Amino acid sequence: MDGLFENIMLADFHDDIHRNIVSLRESQHMYDDLSDSPVGWQAAIDLELATKPHTYMSNQAIIDRPFEEAVYDEAINHPFGKWSKTRFSDGSYGVWYGADSLETSIYETVYHWRTKLLEDAEWHTIDGIIIERKIYLVRCDAGLLNFIPKLETFPVLVDPSVACYHLTHRIGSRIHHDGHPGLISRSARCEGNIYAIFKPQVLSNPRHCCYLTYRIEGNSVAVERQPGKLFLKIHPSGHDSLFQLS
């Protein structure tokens, strides 16, 4: 990675970023598999409320807003509290990922859902398997390292294979160690841009944008924004880690 950080440009970024996470369009009943009786459901709910510790307790209930706290945790804070191995993290720190557009976020998450999760379970060609997702718009105000001018010299930044991650982990570790808030790079799945954020302090104002449903259809993934109405249909291209419109 010699030379990657030499003369690196800094992007003064102040805009919304699309955050695409797993969610449900409609809340599911937690206890309908225990009993067919609504009375039984309510008894289970009452028992849970009586024994489960509170996840959030306000010291100033008139001022604090627990629901806003929950939105922040879901849209921003989760990857900083639940570390995992990703393109720019070896799992020893958290990185938050977002995209420049709804479409870019779809390409990225379709890849991770279909080729990493479903293929591991050998479910990636079973028609009808679905996952539901939620899109947030999140404000970012930061000076971000702009890796886009470096892509030709350092193609590992957009290499679609997981095999390159040991190199991008070194890049992420350097950024984390040096205290930079984040970076801009090109998506490895399409022509859009992605943002890897290392500091939650530069993220704010999460707002719900829309819900999505991904559905396996043969070798493709159909994406719906409105239930029953096709928004995008994506399938693997010549490289099995890249996706394109059908």
Residues 106-154 pLDDT 10s: 999 998 888 766 555 555 567 788 899 999 999 999 999 999 999 999 9
Contact 164, 157 (CB under 8 A): no
**Beta bridge partner(s), residue 140:** 15, 203
Residue with tokens 């699309």: 18
For 214-223, give one letter per residue: b (16+ CB within 10 A) or e.
bbbeeebbbb
> Would you call 128 helix, strand, or coil by DSSP?
coil
- Single pTM value for the model: 0.79
Instruction: For residue range 143-197, list pLDDT tens digits in order.
Output: 999 999 999 999 989 987 777 888 999 999 999 999 999 999 999 989 899 999 9
77 Rama class: left (phi>0) / alpha (psi -120 to 50) / beta: alpha
N-term to C-term CA, the chain: 36
- Which residues does 2 contact at the CB level (< 8 Å), separation at least 6? none
